[in-house]
Amino acid sequence: MDAKIRQELREWLVHLHHDLNVTTLFVTHDQEEALEVSDRIVIFSQGNLEQVGSPREVYEQPNNEFVARFIRRDERARMRGARRCGAAE
- C-alpha angle 57/63/67, rounded to 5°? 85
- pLDDT, one tens digit per residue, over 45-76 is 999 999 999 999 999 999 999 999 888 876 55
Exposure letters 37-57 (e unless 16+ CB within 10 A, then b): bbeebebeeeeeebbebebbe
For residue 81, the model assigns a pLDDT of 63
Parent domain of 51 = 3-85
For residue 79, the model assigns a pLDDT of 63
| Gap between the Cα atoms of 36 and 80, Å rounded | 7
Which residues, in sequence order, are CB contacts of 59 under 8 Å at separation 6+? Answer: 35, 71, 72, 81, 82, 85, 87
Mean pLDDT value across residues 64-89: 70
Split into its structural domains, the chain has a count of 1
